[in-house]
Structure 1
Amino acid sequence: MLVTSGLAYMASSLSLVSCMIGASVLLRGWGRAMPVTNEQVAGHVFLQQMYSDSYFPDHVVDKGSAILMRLCERIEAEQPSDLDALYALTHAATEEFNSLDAEFAAAGSEIETVAREVIAENFWFVASAYGFTDADAEKLIATRDW
């Protein structure tokens, strides 16, 4: 019983959990929350327009919101010094969205025109919230295949 509960605890602490209240993220393997310190981000609901549209299943949109929150966490942790460093982080997050496309399809949805615009706007929001107001919106998501 102790081994089983210990394994369950390990599995739960290794999984990434996003919490929009307080904009905190449970770090993989650490078992403690690391709040995002940027006030604009902490008060922002990512992908709000997609949550408002029943075409997009909330459980998949939640995963997209978690991707954006992890991007913010990485920006705060790595503190990119220029646009190239920021683009490297946003491209990695965009690749995660590329993987979500199949999950949207499995749920009877897709990353279509509205979703593309909403996702792009949220990437722009993140870049500008961290002071990269000169970032090119298309370059932020240049690795997208949706």
Structure 2
Amino acid sequence: MNIGNQQVATHPFLKALYRDGYYPDHAVDRGKEILLRLCERIEADRPADLTALYVLTQAATEEFNDLQDDDFDIETVAREEIAEEFWFIARTYGFEDADVEELIGTRDW
């Protein structure tokens, strides 16, 4: 993955889930890949406003929905961690006014 933003490139995505033995690493790896693909999309598409950003983040949220259906139990700890990562991404790319609930508005977890 080609991430240009150094803050994102060095960020330890889903760190708390990797430390928690409840979550299988292969499932957390897939979640991390979703977040990194979201960052690539943001860098490639350069959303002009929050509405455009929400389209991208909600598509990534749909991917987490699918991941949950496979083998990843997104319960309280995971929900909080994933939401924090979406918020980190929004802030890092200059969308400080983003609403975290709107960022992950399509979640079913």
TM-score bracket relative to the smaller structure: over 0.9
Residue number among 33, 50, 53 corresponding to 2:17 in the alignment: 50
- Aligned-partner Cα distance in 2 for 1:103–1:60: 9
SS state of the match for residue 145, structure 1? coil
Q: Which runs of 5+ in 2 are unaligned?
A: none
Higher percent of residues as strand: 1
Q: TM-score, normalised by structure 1?
A: 0.73
Residue number among 132, 135, 142 corresponding to 2:95 in the alignment: 132
What is residue 79 of structure 1 aligned with on the other side? 46
Structure 1 runs of 4+ aligned residues shifted over 4 Å read: none
User: Which of the pair has more CA radius of gyration?
Assistant: 1
Between the two proteins, what is the percent identity of the paired residues? 63
How many residue pairs get aligned? The number is 109
What is residue 102 of structure 1 aligned with on the other side? 69
The answer on whether the counterparts of 1:123 and 1:137 sit within 8 Å (CA) in structure 2 is yes
Q: TM-score, normalised by structure 2?
A: 0.97
- Aligned-partner Cα distance in 1 for 2:63–2:4: 23
Residue number among 112, 115, 132 corresponding to 2:78 in the alignment: 115
* Structure 1 residue 104 displacement after superposition: 2.6
* Structure 1 residue 103 displacement after superposition: 2.3
**Superposition RMSD on alpha carbons, in Å?**
0.8
Higher percent of residues as helix: 2
Q: Taking CA–CA contacts closer than 8 Å with sequence separation of 6 or more, which of the two structures ends up with the larger relative contact order? A: 2
1:143 aligns with 2:106: yes
Residue number among 27, 52, 67 corresponding to 2:34 in the alignment: 67
